[in-house]
Structure 1
Amino acid sequence: MKTTRTLNVLAAALVGVLPMSGLPAQSLAQETGFDKLANLPFVENRPTKETAQTLRDELLFQRATQIYLWALPLINTLGMQVGSEKTFGAGYNVLPIWKQRLDAKTLVTTPNSDVLYAMSYVDLGKDGPLVMEAPTGLQGILDDYWQRPIPVDGHGGKFAGDVGLAGPDGGKGGKFLMLPPGYNGAVPKGYYVYRSATNNVFIFLRGFYEDPKNLTPAAEHLQKTKIYPLNGAAGAKPMKYPDASGVPVDMLPISDGSVFDQLKRLVDSEGDNLAGPDWLGMLAAIGIVKGQPFNPDAQTREILHRAAKTGYKMSRVIGFEETVSGRSFREYPDRQWLNPIADGTPANPGGPFDLNWHRKDGNYLDLNTRIWFFTDYYSLSPGMLSQNPGKGAKYVIGFTDSTGTPLSGGSSYKINLPPNVPAANFWSVTLYEAENASGLANGQPFPSLGSRDKPAENADGSTTLYLGPKAPAGEEGNWLATVPGRGFFAILRLYGPTEAALDKRWKPGDIEKAQ
């Protein structure tokens, strides 16, 4: 029985990851085993014992795989929390800071190596309302565990999630009060009040520096951030700011069977805050119920493990697509660069969906677009979507070269950036692993290169960057290393994009094969 079950689950896994188009139906069935499932024997119109067991296993596998894809924003957050707390410790008073920037030893989806990061994970259900006291000049986001920006009292959706430069304080700093779901207690004056839809909250802060050779002032400024209980400031635990730079830590979305244990922990912490009856029912169908033991037997564990692996691989398939849910992410009609909000406008910065990933034109969850985002990225807010010149940020993503061919670590490429890059603060290009969207481990201190590194300009004021296993002669200062045998992708970031970036008058050249 064990062998049969394992083979059946493997067949189901193959069904999930093989392409569904371009094959005749009969060929597809023979290739994937669909025909075996569809034609399992029934005797006297009843399933045989073996058929019943096979289909039970298949049902568990399918439900667990769909739960994985549905829960990907949670899984992204949980991956960061589990990896961080295992390495740096847990608690509202623990705020890891990448004091020397974030290099490829930190495995996390599409980090930015050109700012300082600080990330923390708090539980308002356990600790009650919490205050984050932040200094001036930060850029931060307060998200619930679905990574939905938390709304601010008195501001509607205008500043949802944003603190600091894009927040209600306008970068002046202040006290930000985080309240748990359903909180109806007294709210003191003097706070920016954020009402979370989940007990668990993800705190993500960025710090900016002037001189990449002297990061100490920026790190010390981030350490002015304090987090403490609203009703217990005097007895609050002392803050800890572990230096996360250069420390190997895996904060990627969990892609093995342990993800279901983490979802169980979240269900116990959140209950009805986490989801509606239908999806709580799906979780219950695989054994995850608030307050009840979750102890799958060895065979069930194996199926759940395969479901998590398959769900993650499915998300990677979706994550590399240019068009999702009938919506193209192409930023410029004549370029290969993509942008998840390529159709955003000043009046409609999120394009056709809101920050809860619901379609504005159909009022339904755009599930595939949400999967597309959270397999590679995390945290979105009104400030990040800002279409006001000099505010927010603009990101364009290069998965392919100018011919539409995926980027390969063994090939050499170049990118031309026209003169006067429209970034009020700075710009950078960063390389990422195709396997998991973490920073490319290319042997350089950081897999990024930008305006602060002062790359050489061409005679016309443009800048040419080179990507490849070896630097072109004399171009070492304009070169990012790639690794043969490893696919990669690139993100061009403009911090404080100006009018020419927002109206797309300025556009970068494609990533082109170099001779």
Structure 2
Amino acid sequence: MNLIKNSIVKRLAMIGSILLILLIIVLISSANLRNKLGCLLLISGVNQASCVVNLPLPMDDDVAEAEALALGYEAYTTGVVYARSQILMEKDTHPEAPLNAPINEFNIYPNLATPDSAIDFTPNNDTVYGLAWLDLSQGPIIIDVPEIPNRYMVIQATDWALNTFAYIGTRVHSKPGRYAYVPKGWHGEIPNVIETFEAPTNGVFLQARIVVTPETPEDIQPVVAMLKRLTLTPLNKNAIYAKTKKGTPVPNPKLNNPIWQSLDFYTLLNRAWTFGGVRDTDKEVVKQFSRLGIGPNLTFDPEKLTAAQRRGLEKAAKMAFQRVPMHGMERGKGLNSWRFTTLLGSYGSDRLLASTVAMMGYGANKAEEALYLPAFLDNENQPLISGRKYKIHFSANNFPPVNYFWSITLYSRPENQLKANPINRYAIGDRTPSLVKNADGSIDIFVQEQPLSKEQKGNWLPSGEPGQFWMILRMYGPKESVLAGNYIPPEITRVR
């Protein structure tokens, strides 16, 4: 009898062990059951246990709005540089835009920039532009560069976030011939190429600039002819690139477009990240916006968001639109009336600075190519206003130390465009033919709305119609003393 009982107990123990093993297998294979077991153990007092409890309650409206505001603001300050690239490209490649060219072709401007030019960023008045928007999604684009004798020339390549990744030109001693821009990670061979440049994003912006003699109209057309000899050719002969149909509205990239302060901004941002790509440095930041439908290859649909989330995103766009340009007045260090920084043209993780440049100017060179010193205030720390008179006095031993040339260009605020004036002079510098030196070798530049005497007219930079303005001191090929921050330009003195 005892033997039978022992046998039954052993069999029951064996069955129990088998069932326990099966239970463990089920628990291991089922995340849901594991979570429930963890909750039971936690309730039973096992402190090492853990579980996740899904709360069925909706997010409070105030919290949802605040979260959307925070994410939307960061998406804007990170992404407006991409959005500006996108809308500028969409306008410049539109067949009905005033000056246009298809993707992967140069658009050669017929003259120096003027207030009436179709340039939607802050242009210089020293060089003629040739602009091109590249799409590397289907393979490399080859550029053939002719010989440009006895003139300063540069072809700058920037990614979709305005980081400069390649130069061809005078400073880097480029030879005439064939070069290539290739997408990130591309491996292949291109015959007869002098140099290959790997782009961080599929979207690329090219700016070709060739200097002209100021106020010399006959010098323009030879430069235009040189620029027209630049050619771009896709390596992939079978590639088909998107084209805008005639009859569709021409986009307005200027800051007076309501898109910059509305929910429509996030739709534009998605297009920018989808077409042009996101550089590696920004990818982790961009991922966090996907919960709101913002990101590459996503469709931003406000109707899928709550009213609170929509309010938060709209507030974010309005706030960031005000904040980003303000950074232009605080970046760098003050040198008399001018702001000094060598960080333009390559921004690393300084997304706010990249976006500021995108909204205020777009496409700045790296410091070693051309240094930009903006000025918004006079020597009394007051805004520059056209109805007032100013003088900039360069002593004979304090001209900007440059390898090529320097100039001061005047722009309207907040439009950031050249200002119309009766003598059509938008910049003045060391190459201005009419510039007159004082007896001691110094130079006085007069900035004001009213005309000057005949003796001083050659040194007059007109401030144009009433309103605020700002200026940029450009130094092409700045010398080491400038890059080190040792050059102090003269202040902008208000004349009473």
- Please, what TM-score do these two structures have when normalized by structure 1? 0.70
Taking the aligned partners of 2:283 and 2:104, their CA distance within structure 1 comes to 34
AA matched with 1:376: M
Q: 1:512 and 1:467 mapped to 2: Cα distance?
A: 10
One-letter amino acid of the counterpart of residue 188, structure 1: P
Partner of 1:65: 73
The question of whether the paired residues in 2 share the 8 Å contact of 1:416 and 1:508 is answered with no
CA contact (8 A) 1:136 1:164 kept: no
Where in structure 2 are the equivalents of 1:99-114 lying within 5 Å? 99-105=110-116, 106=118, 108-114=120-126
Which position in structure 2 is the counterpart of 1:116? 128
Counterpart residue number, 1:225: 230
Q: Which amino acid aligns with 2:76?
A: Y
Indicate which of 425, 448, 453 corresponds to 1:468: 448
SS of 2:284's partner is: helix
After the TM superposition, which of the residue ranges 75-84 and 174-183 deviates more from structure 2?
75-84
Contact kept in structure 1, 2:127 and 2:212, CA below 8 Å = yes
Higher Rg of the two aligned structures: 2
Q: How many residues align?
A: 413
Equivalent position to 1:52, from 30, 42, 60: 60
Shift of 1:203: 0.8
**Cα distance in 2 between the residues matched to 1:287 and 1:59:** 14
Distance in 2, Cα, partners of 1:312 & 1:136: 43
* Unmatched tracts of structure 2, length 5 or more: 1-54, 242-249
User: Does the Cα contact within 8 Å between 1:92 and 1:227 map onto a contact in 2?
Assistant: no
**Residue 344 (structure 2) pairs with residue 329 (structure 1):** no
Q: What's the offset of the Cα at 1:197?
A: 1.6
Aligned to 1:452: 431
State the partner residue of 2:103: 92
One-letter amino acid of the counterpart of residue 140, structure 1: I
| 2:26 corresponds to | none
Q: TM-score, normalised by structure 2?
A: 0.73
Instruction: State the SS of the aligned residue for 1:255.
Output: helix
Match of 2:418 among 439, 445, 448: 439
Q: Secondary structure at the match of 1:338?
A: strand
Q: 1:272 to 1:409 in 2, by over 3 A?
A: closer
- Name the CA shift for 1:501/1:186 in 2 (closer, same or farther; >3 Å): closer
User: What is the CA distance between 1:225 and its match in structure 2?
Assistant: 0.5
Shifted more, 483-492 versus 404-413: the winner is: 483-492
Deviations 1:224-250 (A, max 9, x none): 1000112439x999xxxxxxxxxx995
Single out whichever of 80-89 and 292-301 deviates more from structure 2.
292-301
Amino acid at match of 2:163: R
Does structure 1 residue 265 correspond to structure 2 residue 271? yes
Q: 1:394 to 1:146 in 2, by over 3 A?
A: closer
From 143, 148, 155, the equivalent of 1:132 is 143
**How far apart are the structure 1 equivalents of 2:154 and 2:134?**
19
CA drift at 1:177 = 0.7
Which position in structure 2 is the counterpart of 1:357? 347
Aligned to 2:389: 412
1:493 alignment counterpart: 474
- Higher alpha-carbon deviation: 252-261 or 306-315: 252-261
- 1:379 is aligned, of 354, 363, 370, to 363
The residue aligned with 1:3 is none
Q: Return the alpha-carbon distance in structure 2 between the equivalents of residues 96 and 192 of structure 1.
A: 23
Change (3 A) 1:60 1:483: farther
Q: What is the alpha-carbon distance in structure 1 between the residues aligned to residue 392 and residue 295 of structure 2?
A: 51
Q: Corresponding residue for 1:21?
A: none
- Report the alpha carbon displacement of residue 469 of structure 1 after superposing the two structures with TM: 2.0
Offset, 1:355? 6.5
CA pair 140-250 structure 1, distance change in 2 beyond 3 A: farther
Query: Aligned-pair distance for 1:90?
Result: 5.1
Instruction: Write out per-residue CA displacement over residues 442-476 of structure 1, whole angstroms, 9 at most, x where no aligned residue.
Output: 56534212233322222222221111221233333
Cα distance per residue 1:408-453 (max 9 Å; x no partner) = 2221111112236344433221112231433334565342122333
Is 1:311 the equivalent of 2:320? yes
Name which of 260, 268, 283 aligns with 1:255.
260
- Partner amino acid, structure 2, of 1:432: Y
1: CA distance, partners of 2:147 / 2:447: 37
